[in-house]
Amino acid sequence: MSKSIRSRFLAVAAAAATLAAALAPQAAQAFGTVRKLGQNAEHERITRRALEPAGFERLTLNQLAGTSLMVGAGTFGAVGAPDRPFRGLISVTEAHCDDGDWFDARDYDQSRAQADQALRACRALMYRNLDEALRRAGDLVRPDLSLGDVSVESGCKFDESDKDTAKCRVLEYFGLALHAAQDFYSHTNWVDAPRAAPTIKDPQGLNRDAPAEWLGPAQPDEVPAGLISGCYGFPEWASCGGRIKHDYLNKDTVHTGRGGYEKAMAVAAADTRAKWEQLSERVLARYGQARGGKILCAIKADDPRRTCG
């Protein structure tokens, strides 16, 4: 099956109950956006763990992180949007940091250069979205320091619609960047324990316990030595035959992959907080202390007109 028609069937199954029974047993997984089919709202939990201490208020954090932990069936939130059916990102490889696989064998089906290209595409997508969040942040506070459309009271659509408020659009692009960054720690070998005799089915781990500097603002061109992610396809046995599969590497739930779930969650949360700090610094640098400070307040506050002056 070609990459253009691959689909993350787990996310579809979780959202569409009529398909769940048929698709769930075969579906590959990503850090979860729901509490079904083995997932436990991992993206939401990571985002809350990282950003609640940074001062994000309840309603705003609900919109950014989603609400599957809070009420009923919940919502995907901005950070879960790439896993939402019909959002258009379920089968976009770089939105989930997949297909960066390589193994040092002469007949391996993908070259190291192709693997590096896939990993760079994931990082590039993160920064396109961070750049767009930065650009749209200017809509929250005008140059005269008056506030724009900063409400989240009616909820956000997160569907690329300009019918969303200005604040929803900032949260949307920030959430898309966070999703890819969080999946990086689940879908690559960054946090995995080293292997004495690595194989395609049990590849080498890099054993890192802190966020990847390679995903930081310096953005060095050279991919870290040994970094890989897994080949994703549906079904993987047909799409990724003979390759390091997503299923071999992922730490998407406590029951999948080859361990390292809690470590991946913790490092992803640290990177999520770092991404917010990076965006905050860029807002202040671009818009100045007075306007930029008010923008950051408007991003985090549930009622900026009352809280941010």
Cβ pair 195, 203 in contact under 8 A:
yes
CB neighbour list of residue 20: distance below 8 Å, 6 or more residues apart: 13, 14, 36, 37
Report which of 81, 298, 94 is spatially closest to residue 174, judged by C-alpha positions. 81
This prediction has a pTM of 0.86
Below-50 pLDDT ranges, the chain: 1-29, 32, 34, 37
CA atoms of 97 and 121, how far apart (whole Å)? 8
Cβ pair 244, 230 in contact under 8 A:
yes
**For position 254, what pLDDT does the model report?**
75
**For position 135, what pLDDT does the model report?**
98
Cβ pair 276, 51 in contact under 8 A:
yes
- Cα 96 to chain centroid distance, Å, stands at 7
Cβ pair 137, 166 in contact under 8 A:
no
> Which residues share a beta bridge with 147?
141
**For position 39, what pLDDT does the model report?**
53
**For position 89, what pLDDT does the model report?**
79
